[in-house]
């Protein structure tokens, strides 16, 4: 991932240095296990721990000659350990025993960081929901005014979506928290299951119950899909802010720095660039998920077609989502809400936001549903055409006034009565924090 969208902690996890550190951890854990089995001289693991250093530059130098990164890594570490202990590094293992098991440890660490990010996002959304639970605005379906809602309700929807993303990440973490040291085709021909169990246990991983040369790639596809879905939780928030920030709407806006500039040509512009960036990166995340799905089916016990994909997709996806959730937290925590504009916009549709209330009120008064629907529809059309409140138009309709008193008609347009029923939505937020 390019530096623009990389936060330091996640970026360091996917750096070459960290990758080789994770490989070395597997190699040392394997030597511990081999020593316990009595297959490797006592003290070998300690010697490798003490002297098993490497440099990325030296590994790359060796790889340029042998064209195999694991061999280059093992050679480099053995050079620094020296003999006789160096000869036991990578004993009985195939490359994927090391690479896949080490990858499992890094995927776990990355997922833990992402879950922590979504913890912060859920908290920010819950805070916004509580703060604005009584801030009314027009609810919209198909982009058109529908019924009243509140900005707090909007944020409550975000909080629940972010929580579901957090739960999916937890399940995906479990899926990839596995390793394997079962050999070239997964048959334990050179490594006993006890060594595999010891290594994975030491690294905090489960064991792939039946592996080939590699851990099943459906696990990584599940992980990438969970990340892509988590990205859509961020996208959902960002897209709503983009719509609400449009000049014609103007009901909310993302934070804007005191010295920030919105356009190189038009000084008045205040563009939702962070929200737009999040929406764009969500498209990239869906691409990574597709790449992971393409990696599942491999030839026989393994080919290498998945390797090149994963070298890019896994680290990039984690880094990208880590950036996205951090920026989304910033938007939600600093969102500028404009209640006056919300109230003004609600008035633009002349009270037609309460049309369903009027329809049901007429049905409850004894009018059949279809005639009641047509009466309210006709009144709404008149309200738009003449620029008059729907309540006023209905109060002039004999079909309405013969059934409902003026007080009953007024009650149909009670915003407080409609919004009071939303309380359980906010009560459910207690389960998220």
**C-alpha separations of 247 from 145, 231, 243, 255, 268 in Å:** 17, 26, 9, 16, 12
Q: How far apart are the C-alpha atoms of 191 and 181, rounded to whole Å?
A: 7
Q: How far apart are the C-alpha atoms of 174 and 111, rounded to whole Å?
A: 10
Active site residue 263: yes
Q: And the tokens for 146?
A: 């529908």
Nearest CA to 2 out of 269, 225, 316 is that of 316
Report CA 350 to chain centroid distance, whole Å.
39
Residue among 12, 68, 189, 263 flagged as catalytic: 263
Q: Which residues are tagged catalytic?
A: 142, 263
């Amino acid at each position: 991932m390019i530096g623009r969208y990389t936060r330091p902690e996640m970026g360091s996890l996917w750096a070459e240095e960290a990758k080789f550190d994770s490989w070395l951890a597997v190699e040392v854990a394997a030597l511990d296990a081999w020593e316990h089995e009595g297959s490797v001289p006592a003290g070998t693991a300690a010697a490798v721990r003490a002297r098993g250093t490497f440099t990325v530059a030296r590994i790359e130098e060796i790889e340029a000659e042998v064209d195999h990164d694991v061999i280059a890594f093992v050679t480099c570490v053995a050079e620094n350990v020296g003999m006789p202990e160096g000869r036991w590094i990578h004993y009985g293992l195939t490359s994927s025993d090391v690479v896949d098991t080490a990858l499992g440890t890094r995927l776990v660490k990355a997922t833990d960081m992402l879950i922590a990010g979504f913890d912060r996002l859920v908290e920010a959304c819950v805070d916004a929901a509580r703060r604005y639970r009584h801030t009314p605005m027009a609810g919209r379906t198909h982009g058109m005014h529908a019924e009243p809602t509140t900005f707090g309700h909007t944020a409550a929807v975000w909080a629940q979506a972010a929580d579901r993303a957090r739960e999916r990440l937890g399940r995906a973490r479990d899926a990839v928290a596995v390793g394997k040291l079962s050999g070239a085709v997964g048959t334990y021909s050179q490594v006993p299951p006890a060594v595999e169990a010891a290594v994975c246990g030491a690294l905090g991983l489960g064991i792939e119950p039946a592996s080939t040369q590699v851990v099943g790639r459906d696990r990584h596809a599940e992980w990438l899909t969970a990340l892509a879905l988590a990205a859509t939780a961020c996208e959902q928030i960002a897209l709503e802010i983009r719509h609400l920030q449009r000049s014609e709407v103007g009901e909310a806006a993302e934070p804007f720095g005191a010295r920030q500039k919105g356009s190189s040509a038009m000084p008045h512009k205040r563009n939702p660039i962070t929200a737009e960036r999040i929406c764009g990166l969500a498209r990239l995340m869906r691409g990574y998920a597709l790449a992971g799905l393409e990696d599942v089916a491999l030839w026989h016990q393994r080919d290498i077609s998945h390797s090149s994909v994963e070298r890019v997709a896994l680290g990039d996806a984690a880094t990208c989502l880590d950036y996205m959730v951090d920026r989304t937290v910033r938007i939600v925590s600093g969102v500028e809400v404009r209640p006056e504009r919300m109230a003004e916009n609600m008035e633009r549709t002349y009270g037609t936001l309460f049309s369903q209330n009027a329809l049901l009120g007429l049905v409850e008064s004894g009018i059949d549903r279809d005639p009641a629907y047509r009466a309210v529809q006709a009144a709404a059309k008149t309200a738009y055409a003449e620029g008059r409140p729907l309540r006023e138009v209905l109060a002039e309709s004999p079909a309405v006034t013969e059934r409902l008193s003026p007080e009953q008609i007024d009650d149909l347009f009670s915003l407080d009565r409609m919004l009071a029923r939303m309380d359980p939505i906010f009560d459910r937020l207690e389960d998220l924090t």
